[in-house]
Structure 1
Amino acid sequence: MSTLIQKILSPLVLLFCCTVCFFVAQASAEDKGQQIVNAACDIQYASQKIAKSYFYKELDIRYESAVQHMQDGMAEFDKNIPILRQGIKSKEEENIMKFLLSSYEQLTKILPKPYSDENGSIVIDASESIFEAADFLSKEHLTKERSTEELMLSIIQRQLRLLERINKYYIAHHAGIENSNNVIQLKQSVSEFETGLQKITKHESHRGALEKSVKSINKLWPIAKDFYLGIQSRAQPVIVLAATDKLIDELATLEKHHKLEIQEAPQKH
């Protein structure tokens, strides 16, 4: 009897083990993919933060803070570039990664040099190249099925990156880097931010303290938008920076909430 049971159970045990291994491997692959997405997004954010801080530093606006933000941004690169490299899975991704690294090298060479309009333009171009390359790599590793919370977190984090990008173009213009392409990119980023804000505002789970943050963002954004687009042409950059910081703080509150919701999601089922 025991032999018969063993014959019956052995294939079942094997099937069970194979099934478990499959799901563990799948989960591991998804985790690695998410790590790459997170690394790419962090690099996007850092590229804009570094460029923005570069101009604030050169204009001697919150100089020490600007220097610290640049150093923090460079540290983000050093931490996340190895993660991106490990995730390369195609020739196209390899080429994009090479382009990103080349742009990063260009950025690191320019930052210590004396400020000039030419060097400022190079900083903008390099930061944009990094932003677009990292965006491509992020999209290549996104999972096809994402929860509502994951989608909302993605939108909020993009809003944070867009704010840094918008502020970069604003302060660069204030520093004298003026060209039509920068204005176009600024307006496009403002438009994308407004689209994202509409989605955040409509999200059903934003109640209580979160609703307060959403209302604060909606109240402050039209004012900040006027600053960015030059309607308030006499506004001081330090005021614009303060408005941006306030928007970032409120978005960070939403980001923290959705990260926590995602972490707790498996425990709720």
Structure 2
Amino acid sequence: MKKSYVSLLTVLLIGTNVLYAKTGHKSTTSVSQKVKKDNIIDLAGRQRMLSQRIVKDYLYKGNKVAVGRADKELKTSLGEFNNALKKLDQSINDAEIKNLLSFVQMSFDEFKDTVSHSYDQDNAQIALDLGESLLEGSQYVVDSLKSKQGTKGSKNAKIIAKSGKQRMLAQRIAKYYIAYQSGIKDKNTVDQMKSAVKEFDANHKELMAYKGNSTTINQKLHDVDKLWKIVYKFYLGIEKGGLPFIVFKTTNDITKKMNEITKLYATH
């Protein structure tokens, strides 16, 4: 499933590039003036987090862990992802990025269809694959928006993207934790979890050291730091298991805090 979506993404990108070559048109920065570019990057970046959260919630609900919270969060996140897709489509005129948004929409529609069916191991694996397609497409949109900003404001765009990615990584950690507990106990699940923990830790240190932080941002990052130093060991104990509710709650707490920090960077 994942390979077919990646292949489709490649075809879409090649098709777009061929069109540019034939017409002689150059891709231009065409984000509408109604919405600030940094806020658009934040919005697109949040889609990465939602791509992981909706899969996580589906797996938690299916495994009957934190069912009430997971069900409520899944419904909310599906609505947020869909609304953000519409807002991005309305705010961006660049043909290449809009092409990517069309791909993300296709993957999202398939995901909604998958989670509308009863939970089983097959649907869990399909949901995981579709989540990766959503993440890959959303990441490409963020990268394209950053590159089309040019050198002006690029430093701020990068720090917003990095901070925003922390939201995604927190949800990704919870996703792979519950995937392993649900029976998807392959090497990839463990490797992806540990990779997410490692990247979050590296990004966190970089954000803490960033000299452009305001006092408020520094305070909030220190709050995240206190929590992270305690809980990251729980996440690395994925093969031991036994802490799915704690993982659900703490990764949500971190996501919430990083969302606040990212908003501050976007308006800084």
* TM-score (normalizing by structure 2): 0.75
Q: 2:240 aligns with which of 214, 220, 233?
A: 233
Q: For 1:70-85, what aligned pairs fall within 5 Å after superposition?
A: 70-85=74-89
The 2-side partners of 1:93 and 1:27 are apart by 10
Residue 244 of structure 1 aligns to which amino acid in structure 2? Answer: T
**Residue 196 (structure 1) aligns with:** 203
State yes or no: 1:247 paired with 2:254.
yes
State yes or no: 1:119 paired with 2:123.
yes
1:226, 1:232 within 8 Å by CA — same for their partners in 2? no
The 1-side partners of 2:189 and 2:113 are apart by 22
The 2-side partners of 1:35 and 1:149 are apart by 11
User: SS of 1:115's equivalent?
Assistant: coil
**Residue 110 (structure 1) aligns with:** 114
Rg larger for: 1
**Residue 179 (structure 2) aligns with:** 172
* TM-score (normalizing by structure 1): 0.75
2:234, 2:243 within 8 Å by CA — same for their partners in 1? no
Q: RMSD across aligned C-alpha pairs, in angstroms?
A: 2.9
User: SS of 1:141's equivalent?
Assistant: helix
State yes or no: 1:62 paired with 2:66.
yes
Q: 1:101 aligns with which of 105, 120, 130?
A: 105
More displaced, 235-244 or 35-44? 35-44
Superposed CA offset, 1:30-54 (max 9, x none): 9475565344323222211111111
**Residue 44 (structure 2) aligns with:** 40
The 1-side partners of 2:107 and 2:45 are apart by 16
Listed as ranges, the gaps of 5+ residues in structure 2 are 1-28
User: SS of 1:178's equivalent?
Assistant: coil
Superposed CA offset, 1:52-89 (max 9, x none): 11112122222222111111111123212234445364
Higher RCO (CA 8 Å, separation ≥ 6 residues): 2
> Cα 1:175–1:213, aligned 2, differ >3 Å: closer, same or farther?
same
> Cα 1:241–1:106, aligned 2, differ >3 Å: closer, same or farther?
same
The alpha-carbon deviation at position 27 of structure 1 amounts to 8.3
Q: 2:164 aligns with which of 157, 172, 176?
A: 157
> Cα 1:96–1:233, aligned 2, differ >3 Å: closer, same or farther?
same
> Cα 1:165–1:26, aligned 2, differ >3 Å: closer, same or farther?
closer
The alpha-carbon deviation at position 214 of structure 1 amounts to 2.4
The alpha-carbon deviation at position 234 of structure 1 amounts to 4.6
The 2-side partners of 1:95 and 1:249 are apart by 30
The alpha-carbon deviation at position 107 of structure 1 amounts to 0.7
2:163, 2:262 within 8 Å by CA — same for their partners in 1? yes
The 2-side partners of 1:54 and 1:184 are apart by 21
User: SS of 1:223's equivalent?
Assistant: helix
The 2-side partners of 1:85 and 1:249 are apart by 25
Superposed CA offset, 1:228-253 (max 9, x none): 22268254211122222332343234
> Cα 1:205–1:49, aligned 2, differ >3 Å: closer, same or farther?
same
Residue 109 of structure 2 aligns to which amino acid in structure 1? Answer: E
The alpha-carbon deviation at position 138 of structure 1 amounts to 2.0
The 2-side partners of 1:238 and 1:179 are apart by 22
Consecutive aligned runs of 4 or more in structure 1 exceeding 6 Å deviation: none
